[in-house]
Structure 1
Amino acid sequence: MRRLLALVPHPDDEAYSIGGTLALAAAAGWDVTVIAISAGDRGQCHTGQATTPEELADIRLAELAAACRALGVTVGASPRLPDGALAGHPALRPAIQACLQAVAPDIVATLGPDGAYGHPDHLALHHAVVEAIATRQAPPALLFAAFPRGLFAPQYERCRPLLGDPPALHPADLGTETPDVRIPIAPVARQKLAAIAAHRSQLPGGDPQAIFPPGIVPALLREEWFILRHPADMAQVARLLLDLDATPAGTPASQRTSPIA
C-alpha cells in the first residue's frame, strides 16, 4: 500500500490546506496519516471549553481526530511541541525524523515556503521538513501546499501581531501563479468543509467559513494546489495523480485526465 504523510504545524492546518487531497487519496486506497507537530495550545478557544493551555491542547487534538475521521484518514500521535515556538526548537527535527521513521511514506505533504500566510510555526516546520528529508537515504517525494497569489493576504494582515517585526515574509511573497499540480476536489468538498468544521474551538461562532477572512474558504473548496520540492519528485507524485485521476498543472488539454486548468 502506498503511504502519504501530512505533517502540519497545528490541528486545523491539515483541513484547510490539503484536506481534499487527503480524502481523495484515502478513497483511492492510499494509507494516509496526519500528524500535527504542535497541539496548538496557545490558540484561542472560541467554545469556552478550555481554561488552560493543556486543556486546549487536548481539545484541539480531539478535534484533529474528528477532522481526520471526516476525511477518512488516520491521525498519528502528536509530539506536542510548544505552540508558537517551533522555530529553533531542539526537538523539532528529531520529531520529524521519528514521524518519517514510523510511517515510511512514499510522499510527504506539508505547508509551502510561504507558510500559507507567513506564520512563524508554519515557516519553521516547512524548513525543518525539507532538511529532515534531505538527510534520508531514500527520501520520499515532497509536496508543498500552495495557494493563489494574494488569497491569504487578508489573513496575513489579520495575523501581523504574530508574524514578527518585521515579518519574515512580505505580502507579495505569499502564494503563486504557477503551481506544479492542481487537484480538483469538488467530489470531496463536503468532507473538507466537515473537517474544517470539526475544529470547533477555532471557529468564531462555530462557522467553518469564519476561520479566515471572507472569500478564502470557498476558494479552498474548489481545488488544491501544490508545488514540488524538486522536479524529480514528480515521478513519485505521478503515482498519486494517476490514482486520483488528476494531472500536473500545465498539461495540454488533449492529455488531461481531469479538468484542471
Structure 2
Amino acid sequence: MPTLVAVIPHPDDESYSFGGTIALAARAGWRCVVICLSAGEGGERHDGGPADPASVGQARLGELARSCSALGAAPPLHWRLPDGGFATAPGQSLKLSRLLAELRPSVVLSLGADGAYGHPDHLATYRWVIRAWQSMREVRPALLLAAFPAGLFLPQYEKCAAGGLDCVPPALVPGSPGPDSPHYSIAITAVRDAKLAAIAAHRSQLPGGDPGALFPPGIISALLESERFVDARGFRDEATESMIATWETAAD
C-alpha cells in the first residue's frame, strides 16, 4: 500500500490546505498519515470549553483525530512543539527526516514557502520539511507544497498581524512558480463533503460551529473546488500527474 504523509504545524492545517487531496488518496487505497508538529494550544477557543493552553491543546488534538478520520487518514502523529515557538525548537529537520525514512512515503504534502499567510510556525515547518526532504538520499518522495491563489490569505495575514503575531507578508520565493501558476491543480469536488467534515471537526476554532468561519469570509469557499501545489523539484512531473489522475478517477 503506497503512503502519503502530510506535515502540518497545527491542528486544522491539514483540513483547509490539502484535506481534499488526502481524502482522494485515501479513497484510492493509500495509507495517509498526518504529522502535526504542535497541539495548537495557543489558539482561541470558540466552543465554550476551558480556554487554558493545556485544555485547548488537548481539545485540538482530539479534533485533529476526528478530522483525519473524516478524510480516511490514519490516526495522526503529533510532536507537541510549542505553538508559536517553533523558532526555539532546533533539530526538527533531522527528526523529521528519520520519521520519513521510517514511513517511506511516495508523496509528502506540506505548506509552501509563504506559509499561506506568513505564520512563523508555518514558515519553520516549510524549512524543516525542505531540509528533511533534501537529506533523503536513497528514495526521495514527491514533495508537493500547498500553493494558494494570490491574495487569498491576505485578510488572514492582516488579522494575525493586527493581533500581534509576527507574520511575514505572503510572498513568493524568487524563481518559484507564482501562486497562479502551480504545477498541479487537483479537482476535489468529489470529496468536498469530506473536506468540509474535516474542517468542521475543528469545532473549538469555529465561531458558531460554522466551517466557513475558520478564516475571514470567502477563503473557505475558495478552497472547496481544487487544491493547488508546487512541486519542490521545480517542475511538473509526469509520474506525479498520472498518480493524481488515478486519485481523481477513483473518487468519481
- Offset of 1:182 from its aligned partner? 0.4
Contact 1:184/1:222, CA 8 A, preserved across alignment: yes
Seen in structure 2, the aligned counterparts of structure 1 residues 89 and 233 have a Cα distance that, compared at 3 Å, is farther
Superposition TM-score, scaled by structure 1 size: 0.87
Question: SS in structure 2 opposite 1:148?
Answer: coil
> Could you list the per-position Cα deviations for residues 88-123 of structure 1 after superposition, in whole angstroms to 9, with x for gaps in the alignment?
512422432243133211111000111111100000
Contact 2:184/2:241, CA 8 A, preserved across alignment: no
Q: What is the match of residue 177 of structure 1?
A: 180
Q: What is the match of residue 256 of structure 1?
A: none
Question: SS in structure 1 opposite 2:79?
Answer: coil
What is the distance in 2 between the residues matched to 1:26 and 1:210? 26
1:1-261 matches, cutoff 5 A: 1-137=1-137, 138-160=139-161, 161-164=163-166, 167-169=167-169, 171=170, 173=172, 176-231=179-234, 234-245=237-248
What is the distance in 1 between the residues matched to 2:243 and 2:164? 35
Moved more, 87-96 or 26-35: 87-96
Letter paired with 2:99: C
Give the unaligned 5+ runs of structure 1.
247-261
- Offset of 1:233 from its aligned partner? 7.2
Question: SS in structure 2 opposite 1:159?
Answer: helix
What is the distance in 1 between the residues matched to 2:103 and 2:82? 23
What is the distance in 1 between the residues matched to 2:58 and 2:238? 39
Contact 2:6/2:108, CA 8 A, preserved across alignment: yes
Superposition TM-score, scaled by structure 2 size: 0.90
What is the distance in 2 between the residues matched to 1:145 and 1:5? 13
What is the distance in 2 between the residues matched to 1:19 and 1:72? 10
Moved more, 148-157 or 100-109: 100-109
> Could you list the per-position Cα deviations for residues 23-55 of structure 1 after superposition, in whole angstroms to 9, with x for gaps in the alignment?
001101111111111111111111132342122
What is the distance in 2 between the residues matched to 1:172 and 1:23? 28
What is the distance in 2 between the residues matched to 1:172 and 1:78? 28
What is the distance in 2 between the residues matched to 1:162 and 1:230? 35
Letter paired with 1:240: M
- Offset of 1:21 from its aligned partner? 0.6
Letter paired with 1:155: Q
**Aligned residues between the structures:** 243
Spell out structure 1 runs of 4+ moving beyond 3 A.
171-175
Seen in structure 2, the aligned counterparts of structure 1 residues 126 and 116 have a Cα distance that, compared at 3 Å, is same
- Offset of 1:59 from its aligned partner? 0.8
- Offset of 1:234 from its aligned partner? 2.1
Q: Identity of paired residues, percent?
A: 48
- Offset of 1:236 from its aligned partner? 4.7
Give the unaligned 5+ runs of structure 2.
none
What is the distance in 2 between the residues matched to 1:172 and 1:229? 17
What is the distance in 2 between the residues matched to 1:235 and 1:50? 49
> Could you list the per-position Cα deviations for residues 110-150 of structure 1 after superposition, in whole angstroms to 9, with x for gaps in the alignment?
00111111100000000110011111112211000111101
> Could you list the per-position Cα deviations for residues 169-209 of structure 1 after superposition, in whole angstroms to 9, with x for gaps in the alignment?
3x454971101100111111011001000000111111110
Seen in structure 2, the aligned counterparts of structure 1 residues 172 and 113 have a Cα distance that, compared at 3 Å, is closer
* RMSD, matched Cα: 1.9
Seen in structure 2, the aligned counterparts of structure 1 residues 95 and 50 have a Cα distance that, compared at 3 Å, is farther
What is the distance in 1 between the residues matched to 2:77 and 2:55? 17
What is the distance in 2 between the residues matched to 1:155 and 1:43? 14
What is the distance in 2 between the residues matched to 1:237 and 1:126? 20
